Amino acid sequence: LARGPSFSTTSMASISRITVIGGGQMGSGIAQVAATHKHEVTLVDVSQEALDRGKAYMAKSLKRVAKKKHAEDEAAQSQFVAEIMSRVSLSTKPQEAVSRADLVIEAIVENLKVKQDLFAQLSKAAPQQAILASNTSSLPIGKIAELLDSQRKQRFIGLHFFNPVPQMKLVEVVRTKEADQEVVDSAVAWVKAIGKAPAVCKDTPGFIVNRLLLPYMMEAIRLLERDVASAQDIDTAMKLGAGYPMGPFELCDYVGLDTIKFIVDGWHKDGEGLKGNPLFASSTKLDELVKQGRLGVKSGKGFYDY
């Protein structure tokens, strides 16, 4: 497709204004990391309360970092946090917030229709050269971009961060069939510029990490269902026998059991190339826990009590 002169591309060096849509754990983590690396960040959510929560997540995490950086100096700790937070603006107006963005990262609820509608709305206001990205864990990037025109699709990718964002080094850069190589290159450079390590992959269910992690988690749950060992012993085995920082049940509780169920059910039902795959078949144990509201750390109970 020929590009008109008004359609200039964003060079790697020019990604400096970031808009993050969604102030939950992931969105606020991404905003925090970008601001830490001197980017001007706007964090967007639907209400002031949601934004205040996001701001509180950032402040708590930054205090943790500050305490290590300036162990004996409380004034330096406060200054460190304030300096980074000064680069983060808050907004409840998505269109206004993307109007000057070089890069927009969406980290809202995992609902395809809601994400598609959001990007349709954002594309009316974002600069033509902006890179648009989704932090989805399990939805196809190409489908999220489906309502956009072909120029927007060329500048649309996945940027998948991991929890806890300030600590986890990896970002998956997900390349759709339509994405420009130059956009992927810019995203890779930006990921490095914020101190993370990129892994580029195609737009397939679960990308790399979740495609391997979800079968592992589900197999751990099936071991428990077959009464092979207790959750504690399976966790101990994987931590001490395989060197994982968390055992599979600690990790399930950390990620959220509702999130895990949502992902495996979605892939089992109609994931590209995964439909009916027994690796992602439902588990009675998981279904029961979710039904009881035992969602993991966030609800105070999951496989373990918190």
Q: Is 251 in the site for ligand 3HC (CB under 6 A)?
A: yes
Q: Is 210 marked active-site?
A: yes
Which tokens belong to 243? 């060197």
Under the criterion CB under 6 A, does residue 210 sit at the interface with ligand 3HC? yes
Q: Which candidate, 151, 142, 130, places its Cα nearest to that of 176?
A: 142
Bridge partners, residue 170, by sequence:
197
Question: Cβ(91)–Cβ(44) under 8 Å?
Answer: yes
Work out whether 129 is an interface residue with ligand 3HC (CB under 6 A): no
| Contact present, 106 and 135 (Cβ < 8 Å) | yes
By the rule CB under 6 A, 215 interacts with ligand 3HC: no
* Position 28 contacts ligand 3HC (CB under 6 A): no
Among 43, 157, 255, 295, binds ligand 3HC (CB under 6 A): 255
Regarding 68 and contact with ligand 3HC (CB under 6 A), the answer is yes
User: Catalytic: 163?
Assistant: no
- Is position 167 an interface residue for ligand 3HC (rule: CB under 6 A)? yes
Distance CA 185, CA 68 (A): 33
| Residue 164 interacts with ligand 3HC (CB under 6 A): yes or no | yes
Residues near ligand 3HC (CB under 6 A), total:
17
Q: Compute the 3-state secondary structure of the chain and give helix, strand, coil in percent, each to the nearest 5.
A: 50, 15, 35
Q: Which residue is nearest to ligand 3HC (CB)?
A: 137
135 is catalytic: no
Residue of the chain from 28, 42, 61, 77 that contacts ligand 3HC (CB under 6 A): 61
Q: How many CA atoms lie within 13 A of 115 on its CB side?
A: 27
Assess 243 for contact with ligand 3HC (CB under 6 A). no
137 a catalytic residue: yes
Q: Which of 112, 168, 193, 208 binds ligand 3HC (CB under 6 A)?
A: 168
How many Å apart are CA 99 and CA 124, to the nearest integer? Answer: 9
Find how far residue 59's CA is from the centre of its chain: 19
Report, in Å, the least distance between residue 227 CB and ligand 3HC: 26
Neighbour count for residue 187 (Cβ, 10 Å): 26
158 binds ligand 3HC per the rule CB under 6 A? no
Among 74-82, 84-92, 161-169, 225-233, which window interacts with ligand 3HC (CB under 6 A)? Answer: 161-169
Nearest approach, Cβ of residue 123 and ligand 3HC (Å): 25
- Please state, in angstroms and as integers, the Cα–Cα distance from residue 122 to each residue in 25, 95, 263, following that order: 22, 6, 26
Choice between 10 and 134, CB closer to ligand 3HC: 134
Q: Which is nearer to ligand 3HC, 213 or 218 (CB)?
A: 213
In the complex, the smallest distance separating the C-beta of residue 166 from ligand 3HC, rounded to whole angstroms, is 4
What HEC string does 75-113 produce?
A: HHHHHHHHHHHCCEEEECCHHHHHCCCCEEEECCCCCHH
* Residue 145 · residue 119 · CB < 8 Å: yes
Q: Which residues bind ligand 3HC (CB under 6 A)?
A: 61, 64-65, 68, 137, 162-164, 166-168, 210, 213, 245-246, 251, 255
Residues catalogued as catalytic: 137, 160, 172, 210
